Amino acid sequence: MMPMGLTSTPLLSYRDIKTEGTDLFEDAFGFYPEFRDVIELLKQVKPVPGKRLTRRLIEKLRKSL
């Protein structure tokens, strides 16, 4: 078995991968900039409601039943 070179894999050489017309930087790092507003909004959402909100909700449910 031959050792791998710095620019190849056991199956193909990196020179064989066609990247014309492809923005490699965008492909590698494009997810965050495209969805930055959504990610920032999700950071603000609290997964667990506060005690006051929970208590008020329970009170409203008891009144309606």
| Whole-number pLDDT of residue 3 | 52
CA-CA distance, 11 to 17, in Å (whole number)? 12
Tell me the sheet residues that pair with 8.
Answer: 13
Gyration radius (Cα) of the chain, Å: 26
Q: Find out whether 8 and 14 touch, Cβ atoms under 8 Å.
A: yes
Does residue 19 contact residue 13 with C-beta atoms inside 8 Å?
A: no
Q: Report the alpha-carbon distance of residue 62 to residue 64 in Å, rounded.
A: 5
Prediction pTM value:
0.32
The mean pLDDT of the chain is 75
pLDDT in tens, 5-64: 555 567 777 777 777 777 777 666 665 566 777 778 888 887 888 899 999 999 999 998
pLDDT at 63: 93
